Amino acid sequence: MAKFGKRTTAARAAFDGKHNVSVSEAASLVKDNAKAKFDESIEIAMTLGVDPRHADQMVRGTVSLPHGTGKTVRVAVFARGDKAEEAKAAGADIVGAEDLMETVQGGTIEFDRCIATPDMMAVVGRLGKVLGPRNLMPNPRVGTVTMDVKQAVEDAKGGQVQFKAEKAGVVHAGIGKASFSAQQIEENMKAFVDAVSKAKPTGAKGTYMKKIAVSSTMGPGVSIDVASATGNE
């Protein structure tokens, strides 16, 4: 515990007085202070001026990060016949239909992304209460309900990130690893912010992007100057 305390204290000292910094400085700060014995994830959190309880203020989408996420993504596909074979050939980890539905209903969820062909949604729809809260429900708006199973699997495996505004209008995602270079973290960060910016809903009023912060798994967060992140300096 003493070691953890010293590391946290040192990180907080490095971050002291650092508020609303540039994207570049934030990337370097977070990377340099990720000192855990494992490869920490780099995470971004954005507070938006929306109320996702209203349909016209929901923020949702996907972005393919230029350097991926550094994480191995396990992909499940609900499909039959040729589309099931296509999914397997594309590298899907789990492929099934009613059998996969029963597995998930039984509490076994061994995947990070769920894709389905449109004809399977009657089956997948029964899993709403299980997959919905985990943000795993296939959705045509983010390309996870599709006949192009091959592309969807490849996108998921290639570092595509899904995002969705949660309560209080917060969007968060993993955008890399501490082992990435500061430049790679910076470029991933900018790509993510740009995607959320472009996903601004019609019902958003006032300031859309209120706060942006980035942190590593074990480190403190640092706030980023919104204008710097969005290129509106």
Query: Which CATH number do you get for residue 205?
Result: 3.30.190.20
* Burial track 121-146 (b if 16+ CB lie within 10 A, e otherwise): eebbeebeebbeeeebbbbeebbbbb
Do 196 and 128 reside in the same domain of the chain?
no
214 or 5, which is more confident?
A: 214
The amino acid at 220: P
- Confidence at 9, pLDDT banded by 50, 70, 90: low
Bridging pattern class, strands 209-216 and 222-223: antiparallel
The amino acid at 6: K
> Which 3-state string (H, E, C) describes the chain?
CHHHHHHHHHHHHHHCCCCCECHHHHHHHHHHCCCCCCCCEEEEEEEECCCCCCHHHCCEEEEECCCCCCCCCCEEEECCHHHHHHHHHHCCCEEECHHHHHHHHCCCCCCCEEEECHHHHHHHHHHHHHHHHHCCCCCHHHCCECCCHHHHHHHHHCCEEEEECCHHHEEEEEEEECCCCHHHHHHHHHHHHHHHHHCCCCCCCCCCEEEEEEEECCCCCEEECHHHHHCCC
87 or 15, which is more confident?
A: 87
Q: Does 220 score more than 90 pLDDT?
A: no
Residue range of the domain that includes 183:
18-69+161-230
**CATH value at residue 95:** 3.40.50.790
* pTM exceeds 0.85 for this model: no
| Number of domains comprising the chain | 2
Last residue of a domain, one of 99, 134, 157: 157
Q: Is 207 helix (H, G, I), strand (E, B) or coil?
A: coil
Do 145 and 178 reside in the same domain of the chain?
no
Two tokens at 125?
């729809």
Do 84 and 147 reside in the same domain of the chain?
yes
Q: Does 85 score more than 70 pLDDT?
A: yes
DSSP 211: E
Last residue of a domain, one of 157, 187, 216: 157
Q: Please tell me the distance from the alpha carbon of residue 25 to that of residue 223, in angstroms, as a whole number.
A: 10
- Confidence at 116, pLDDT banded by 50, 70, 90: very high
Tokens 């798994």 map to which residue? Answer: 217
Last residue of a domain, one of 157, 183, 213: 157
Do 139 and 185 reside in the same domain of the chain?
no
Do 211 and 171 reside in the same domain of the chain?
yes
Q: Does 2 score more than 50 pLDDT?
A: no
Q: Please tell me the distance from the alpha carbon of residue 113 to that of residue 223, in angstroms, as a whole number.
A: 29
Residue 55 dihedral angles phi and psi, to the nearest 5°: -55, -35
